[in-house]
Chain A
Amino acid sequence: MALYRAGRGSDRLPARRFLETFTVASPGASALDIRYLDIISSRDTSIHRLDPRAKLLTTLAYIVAVASFDKYTVTGLVPFVIYPVVLIALGDVPVAYLLRKAMLAAPFALFVGIFNPLFDREVLLHVGSVPISGGWASFLSIMLRFTLTVTSALLLVATTGFNGVCVALEKLGAPKAFVVQLLFLYRYLFVLGDEATRLTRARSLRTFDGRGMGIRVFGSLAGQLLLRTLDRARRIYLAMLCRGFDGEVRQAGSLRFSKGDLVYTVWWLGLFILLRVYDITHLAGSVVMGLAG
Chain B
Amino acid sequence: MSHHIIEVTDLHHTYPDGTVALRGLSFRIVHGEAVALVGANGAGKSTLLLHLNGCLTPMAGTVRIGDFPLTRKTLPHVRRTVGMVFQDPDDQLFMPLVYDDVAFGPRNLGLPVEEVRGRVMSALATVGAAHLRDRPSHRLSAGEKRAVAIATVLAMSPSILVMDEPTASLDPGTRRQLIQLLVGFEHTKIIATHDLDMAFDLCSRVIVLNDGRITADGPTGAILTDEALLRASNLERPFRLQGCPVCSAASATR
Contacts and interface: CB of A to CB of B under 8 A. Distances in A.
Q: Do chains A and B touch in the complex (CB under 8 A)?
A: yes
Nearest to B55: A238
Interface string A77-90: 00000000000000
Given A3-B143, A5-B174, A9-B139, A241 B55 contact: yes
Interface in B52-85: 53, 55, 76, 79-80, 83-84
Contacts of A236: 91-92, 94
B140 A1 contact: no
B181 A1 contact: yes
A240 interface: yes
Interface in A135-163: 163
A129 interface: no
Interface stretch (B144-152, B206-214, B233-241): B144-152
Of the listed residues A8, A235, A239, A250, the one surrounded by the most CB atoms of chain B closer than 10 A to its CB is A239
B90 A3 contact: no
A252 B103 contact: yes
A189 B80 CA distance: 30
Contacts of A235: 86, 88, 91
Nearest to B143: A4
B123 to A, nearest CB: 12
Interface in A156-215: 163, 166, 183-184, 186-191
B137 A187 contact: yes
B166 to A, nearest CB: 11
Interface string B34-58: 0000000000000000100101000
Contacts of A184: 94
Interface residues of B, number: 51
B136 A163 contact: yes
A244 B79 contact: yes
Contacts of B50: 238
A68 interface: no
Contacts of B180: 1
Given A9-B140, A9-B141, A252-B103, A243 B147 contact: no
Contacts of B109: 244
A243 B153 contact: yes
A22 interface: no
Contacts of B137: 187
Counting contact residues on chain A (CB < 8 A from B), the size range is 35 or more
B128 A187 contact: no
B140 A7 contact: yes
Given A9-B139, A190-B138, A239-B91, A244 B177 contact: no
| Chief secondary structure at chain B's binding surface | helix
Nearest to A5: B143
B130 to A, nearest CB: 10
Contact of B138 (A4, A187, A250): A187
A245 interface: yes
Interface string B225-236: 000000000000
Contact of B76 (A2, A240, A244): A244
A41 to B, nearest CB: 10
B100 A251 contact: yes
B101 to A, nearest CB: 9
B52 to A, nearest CB: 10
B66 to A, nearest CB: 17
A7 B141 contact: yes
B252 to A, nearest CB: 38
A38 interface: yes
Contacts of B223: none
B139 A2 contact: no
Nearest to B178: A3
Interface in B115-139: 116, 127-129, 136-139
A284 to B, nearest CB: 45
B136 A240 contact: no
A5 B138 contact: no
B168 interface: no
B18 interface: no
Of the listed residues A3, A166, A186, the one surrounded by the most CB atoms of chain B closer than 10 A to its CB is A3
Contacts of A238: 50, 55, 86, 91
A4 B98 CA distance: 15
B144 A250 contact: no
5 contacts: A3-B146, A4-B144, A4-B177, A236-B94, A250-B107
Interface of B: 50, 53, 55, 76, 79-80, 83-84, 86, 88, 90-97, 100, 103-105, 107-109, 113, 116, 127-129, 136-144, 146-147, 152-153, 156, 171, 173-174, 177-178, 180-181
Q: Which 7 A-B pairs have the closest CB atoms?
A: A4-B143, A244-B108, A7-B141, A243-B105, A3-B147, A4-B144, A2-B128
Given A250-B107, A251-B100, 7 more contacts: A2-B128, A3-B146, A187-B93, A187-B136, A244-B108, A246-B108, A252-B103
